[in-house]
Structure 1
Amino acid sequence: MIQSFLVALIAGIGHIDERLFGMTMMERPLVICTLVGLVYGDVKTGLILGAQIELLSMGVVGIGANAAPPDVILGGALSTALVLQSHTDPKLALALVMPIAAFAMATKYITYVPLNQILSQKSLEAAGRGDTKTMERNQWLGLFNYFIFPFLIALVAMLLGAPVFKSLVKFIPDWLTGGFALAAGILPALGFALLMQLTFTKKFAPYLFLGFILVAFFKLTNIGVAMVGAVIAALILLSNSSGVEGKTEDNEI
């Protein structure tokens, strides 16, 4: 019960992070899943799952007013919690995260989003009257809605869904578990591919191939590649800054 409450609390706080605290990155799956792992006494698994779900969700973005990405905050928190609570293969979390995230996004648009739209309209009317107290109250009520509904959804899912999930896991055949394990390896790569589709240009192509060469031929780890990337970024920064200084000196002369 206490663990379910804490998971729900993490999910609720994750939803109000940027609206109240100024985006501390609490809403990112890497942080959410690590905190859930801390609740269940398995920070390592929570961190690993968070990193994989982070890769999966990096390229999942909402473009336009009517396009909203799946709710990876609830998806990451609940999938990690269900897997850790049932002591099943952690790779199963990656197969669960997107269905849960899509369901959470659907519930969002039938619960607190309509309520907050009403509050926004009331605030506009209050602004026309110069009623700042009503505007402030509606602001805090809207923030409360963003917290309480994800909190309740996560709490109900943990209290009602966890026992059912534990029972279902016992009947999952090995071939299906193997399929989940295969999907666990593909989904993060898919997320990274979606991100590259948004950001990849000819200008960055050499760095992509450099990373591939370092891993494929020189067997560098991710940390090693990251260090090489940091050195290259520092060299580019120094080169650009020296160029700006040179132009400034020429202008002064």
Structure 2
Amino acid sequence: MVDLNFIQILLILIVALFAGFESVLDVFQLHQPIITGALIGAITGNLTDGLILGGSLQLIVLGWMNIGAAQAPDAAIAGVVSAILVLVKGASNSEGIAIAIPLAIAGQVLTIFVRTLAVGLGHYADRKAEDGNIRGVEVANLTGLLLQGLRVALPAAAVIAVPAETVTAAIQAIPDWITGGLAVGGGMIVAVGYAMVINMMASKTTWPFFFIGFALAAVTELNLIAMGIIGLSLAFIYVQIAPEFNQGSKGGGGGGSVDDQLDEILEDY
């Protein structure tokens, strides 16, 4: 349990606001739980706990994505509010993870509501564009973005404002079978998330790398840095020997050599 000063409260609300922005912009990934957990942990002086909580929640949201008109559960509000409950109000990690799932569903409803309001802002921007009013278009776009930020910041402010004793009593009032069931469900979602990611990546050319990585993960002497170096090296080797990257080298070296294609790929990163 942490007593926050004004600066800390302001910084947490800024993190929540930008998490809401990023949930629609999706540029810097600031809405991901591992990022919000780390930032709120650093603000409250509990960086390690924030990373642990954020990493656990990140595994749950790994496979969540918007597909067409289907809106995924909201990772931003789940990560921010859970981090506040655990790092500020004194809830346990398991309680924070269990509460994150219904929070994500509530956030899903909120973001659908805000996106519905944004339809009106879009029509307003169209009218301003027809009149040649660029400022009006900017105001409409920024208003929609601000609504998405407030969608996360306001619940975060409400949780901060509630006394820790009230939060603790509310959490303890939840039956164990509910929190336990949500925790088990969260663990199942982790497996589903991994399966969805693997399903998207699966191909006859990538399966060998998956099994190599799976085998290397069992080598206890290798840390994540070593695993990353091995993975990067295997990727470079694959680019150099894969047939799709060697088509231009056949027939005497005109125009698309392997080295040129590899240079282009490296420049993109």
The structure showing larger relative contact order (alpha-carbon pairs under 8 Å, at least 6 residues apart) is: 1
**Superposed, which structure 2 residues align to 1:39-50 within 5 Å?**
39-50=43-54
2:266 aligns with none
**Using a 3 Å threshold, how does the CA distance of structure 1 residues 138 and 174 change in structure 2: closer, same or farther?**
closer
What is the SS of the residue equivalent to 1:97?
A: helix
Verify the 8 A CA contact 2:33 2:75 in the aligned structure 1: yes
How many Å separate the matches in 2 of 1:120 and 1:177?
41
Alpha-carbon distance, 1:19 to partner: 6.6
Verify the 8 A CA contact 2:98 2:179 in the aligned structure 1: no
Q: Does 1:232 align with 2:234?
A: yes
| Structure 2: stretches of 5+ with no match in the other structure | 256-269
Candidates 115, 118, 135, aligned match of 1:133: 135
How many Å separate the matches in 1 of 2:175 and 2:245?
62
Q: Does 1:149 align with 2:151?
A: yes
Alpha-carbon distance, 1:130 to partner: 2.3
Which ranges of 4 or more aligned residues in structure 1 deviate by more than 4 Å? 169-187
**Using a 3 Å threshold, how does the CA distance of structure 1 residues 162 and 114 change in structure 2: closer, same or farther?**
farther
Alpha-carbon distance, 1:18 to partner: 7.6
How many Å separate the matches in 2 of 1:191 and 1:39?
29
**Using a 3 Å threshold, how does the CA distance of structure 1 residues 209 and 35 change in structure 2: closer, same or farther?**
same
1:32 partner amino acid = T
Candidates 55, 61, 71, aligned match of 1:57: 61
Verify the 8 A CA contact 1:72 1:98 in the aligned structure 2: no
**Using a 3 Å threshold, how does the CA distance of structure 1 residues 92 and 238 change in structure 2: closer, same or farther?**
farther
2:20 aligns with 15
2:216 aligns with 214
1:104 partner amino acid = G
**Using a 3 Å threshold, how does the CA distance of structure 1 residues 152 and 82 change in structure 2: closer, same or farther?**
same
Alpha-carbon distance, 1:166 to partner: 1.3
How many Å separate the matches in 2 of 1:120 and 1:138?
7
How many Å separate the matches in 1 of 2:193 and 2:201?
13
1:11 partner amino acid = A
2:124 aligns with 122
| Structure 1: stretches of 5+ with no match in the other structure | none
How many Å separate the matches in 2 of 1:42 and 1:16?
24
**Superposed, which structure 2 residues align to 1:181-196 within 5 Å?**
186-196=188-198
1:166 aligns with 168
How many Å separate the matches in 1 of 2:151 and 2:252?
58
Q: Does 1:73 align with 2:76?
A: yes
How many Å separate the matches in 2 of 1:97 and 1:16?
19
**Higher mean C-alpha displacement, 112-121 vs 85-94:** 85-94
1:239 partner amino acid = I
How many Å separate the matches in 2 of 1:93 and 1:203?
39
Question: What is the aligned length?
Answer: 248
2:162 partner amino acid = L
Deviations for 1:121-140, whole angstroms, at most 9, x for unmatched residues?
01112222223232222222
Coordinate RMSD, CA, aligned:
3.2
How many Å separate the matches in 2 of 1:245 and 1:37?
51
How many Å separate the matches in 1 of 2:92 and 2:204?
40
2:12 partner amino acid = V
Q: Does 1:93 align with 2:96?
A: yes
Q: TM-score, normalised by structure 1?
A: 0.81
Deviations for 1:28-76, whole angstroms, at most 9, x for unmatched residues?
2221110011122110111122222222212111111x20111101101
Alpha-carbon distance, 1:181 to partner: 6.4
